[in-house]
Amino acid sequence: MASHRGQVRRAVGALCAIALVAAVAAVGGGTASATTKPGSVFTLRVVITDSKTRLVPHRTASGQVLATYIHKNGLSATFPRGTLIQFLFTNEGTKTYLPAIRITDKSQADPYAHVKNLYVASKAIAPGGHVSLFGNFYFRGSFLIEKLFHKKALGSPVNVSIY
């Protein structure tokens, strides 16, 4: 009977070792793009003027511009699915605006999750003011980053596509 227990322990140990090797290979050996893998929060500055809204490409400590996702001088952007973005809005206009993210295509959203058409910042920002708005882009689709003035979109928005 003791011999049988030893065989079972060795078999379980071998199985655990195989599972560990398979897990390590799966983590290190994947070549597909991981668009659903959650990453760190990406901080992105957004400048609002009276005529438009514009994304400001992130600069590294050495001053290099990281414009991988931002296009057309900040008027459009594309990000992979699963991107977490902390938008930091600065109002350089002459009026008080409310920053907003409008969902224009939610066909890929979870049908069981309540997804609103419009998400707004916690407060409107006066000229020279700042506010942040967090975006969790967990599904593919089209979005607009815009400013609201008296509940109406004003000026040129930023087109954002999640692939």
Read off the CATH number of the domain in which 57 is found.
2.60.40.420
Residues 57 and 10 occupy one common structural domain: no
**Region of residue 58 (left: phi > 0; alpha: psi -120 to 50; beta: else):** beta
Domain that holds residue 13: 1-31
How many domains does the chain contain in total? 2
Residue 158 lies in a domain: yes
**CA distances from residue 135 to 63, 100, 130 in whole angstroms, order as listed:** 26, 10, 17
Give mean pLDDT, residues 89-113. 94
Q: Give per-residue pLDDT as tens, 71-96.
A: 888 999 998 998 899 999 999 999 99
- What does R_g of the chain's alpha carbons equal in angstroms? 23
pTM metric for this prediction: 0.71
Looking at the fold, whether 19 and 66 belong to one and the same domain comes out as no
Could you give the CA distance from residue 125 to residue 22 in angstroms, rounded to a whole number? 52
Domain assignment present for 36:
no
- The answer to whether residues 67 and 140 belong to one domain is yes
pLDDT of residue 27: 40
Alpha carbon distance, N-terminus to C-terminus of the chain: 59
Tokens read off for 153 = 């979109």
151 Cα distance to chain centroid: 25
Q: Is the pLDDT of residue 28 over 60?
A: no
